[in-house]
């Protein structure tokens, strides 16, 4: 599958997981984004989901539930992870970091399948070597990304109905406003059709690749 740069106007989603995105039981916007530093390149890495491959709320939430499931499968002890919603922003909001924050040298979002998730998007932020310390810059980045967020799209599944209050009730409204799907009916319909076609192509590609890999291993 051809990986490509995300168009500026396309929507991206950042999923919110309890307790990772919380300070105790209070939602914390600076913990919504998990940015890791590549020690070799100095680039900050993060993850999002591309609306092209989660074209409706149903798929946005299914993606979040899979994140929850993977985290819980790796958990050895402590509080279980609970998916509780997602926030939306556009590709241009990420790329604007290059202009908004002096110590950022580059900022981009690129389609990159990960953990078999076709909707996964890699967030890459380069930092200037002569800039302030990384933690200070990360704080500026987190504030800018949060200010561009719409939402939340809250979610409560049947398996966590007994959690009272459910963490989704503690999510803050995004600074950019509530989430609203402004796409026309026809465009939403086309998005679903395109998603189905892309999903079939991805599954065929994955099957062919696995088959070739098994043959090479023999």
39-74: b (≥16 Cβ within 10 Å) or e? eeeebbebbbbbbbbbbeeebbbebbeebbeeeeee
The reported pLDDT for the residue numbered 76 is 76
CA distances from 4 to 14, 90, 113, 122, 174 (A): 19, 16, 11, 11, 28
Tell me the C-alpha distance between 31 and 28, whole Å: 5
Dump pLDDT digits (tens) for 64-96. 999 999 999 988 777 889 999 999 999 999 999
Dump pLDDT digits (tens) for 181-198. 989 999 999 999 989 898
CA atoms within 13 A on the CB side of 24: 1
Write out the two tokens for 11.
Answer: 């929507």
The reported pLDDT for the residue numbered 212 is 67
Dump pLDDT digits (tens) for 30-71. 999 999 988 888 899 999 999 999 999 999 999 999 999 999
- Residues 6 or more apart from 172 whose CB is under 8 A from it? 27, 29, 152
Tell me the C-alpha distance between 19 and 160, whole Å: 14
Q: Is the pLDDT of residue 176 over 90?
A: yes
Q: Is the pLDDT of residue 145 over 80?
A: yes
Number of residues written out for the chain: 218
The reported pLDDT for the residue numbered 209 is 63
Q: Is the pLDDT of residue 14 over 80?
A: yes
Of 218, 47, 40, 58, which is closest to residue 121 (Cα–Cα)?
A: 47
The reported pLDDT for the residue numbered 217 is 62
């Amino acid at each position: 599958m051809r990986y490509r740069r995300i168009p500026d106007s396309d929507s991206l989603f950042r999923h919110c997981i309890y307790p990772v995105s919380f300070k105790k039981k209070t939602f914390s916007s600076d913990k919504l984004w998990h940015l890791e530093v590549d020690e070799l390149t100095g680039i900050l890495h993060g993850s999002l989901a591309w609306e092209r491959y989660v074209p409706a709320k149903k798929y946005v939430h299914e993606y979040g539930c899979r994140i929850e499931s993977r985290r819980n499968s790796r958990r050895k002890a402590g509080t279980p992870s609970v998916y509780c919603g997602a926030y939306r922003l556009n590709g241009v909001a990420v790329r604007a970091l290059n202009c908004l924050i002096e110590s950022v040298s580059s900022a981009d979002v690129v389609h990159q399948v990960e953990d078999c998730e076709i909707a996964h998007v890699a967030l890459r932020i380069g930092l200037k070597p002569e800039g302030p310390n990384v933690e200070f810059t990360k704080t500026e980045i987190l504030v800018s990304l949060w200010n561009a967020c719409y939402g939340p799209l809250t979610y409560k599944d049947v398996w966590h109905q007994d959690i009272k209050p459910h963490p989704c009730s503690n999510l803050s409204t995004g600074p950019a406003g509530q989430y609203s799907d402004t796409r026309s009916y026809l465009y939403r319909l086309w998005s679903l059709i395109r998603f189905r076609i892309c999903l079939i192509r991805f599954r065929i590609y994955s099957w062919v690749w696995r088959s070739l890999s098994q043959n090479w291993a023999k």
